[in-house]
Amino acid sequence: MYVHTPAVVTHAVEDEAFVVRVSGSLDHDSAPLLEEACALAEDSGAPRTVVDLSLTDFADSTVLHVLLAAQRAHHRQQRKLVVAGPFHEVVRRLFDVTGTAGYFTLADDMPGALGS
């Protein structure tokens, strides 16, 4: 049985990357938190943004929309966006079922995301 856990989104600069960390369940109600953090990342000027979803236990298509918009914005700025795991099964399935896994740079963990 799925248990909704409130989403928490934080951000910081680490190793010359703007890191957005997400924990809990991301859905329509909490997607604006991620959208705001991604907008800050776009404005930060850091050469790379890493979105850490390793503690995210649920994500829906609203979140995917936010990540796709962030990816397009980073691409326009010629900056890199990396989405880091390890991914919960539900989150991995979101990328796989929608066919968007190839649109992102996905990293198995934060060290891989910071080094990729």
pLDDT by position in tens, the chain (length 116): 456 789 999 999 998 999 999 999 999 999 999 999 999 999 998 999 999 999 999 999 999 999 999 999 999 999 999 999 999 999 999 999 999 999 999 999 999 999 86
pTM of the predicted structure, to 2 decimals = 0.94
List strand residue ranges (DSSP E) for the chain, in order: 8-14, 17-26, 48-59, 80-84, 105-107
pLDDT of residue 4: 75
The residue among 11, 46, 19 whose CA lies nearest residue 113 is: 19
pLDDT of residue 116: 66
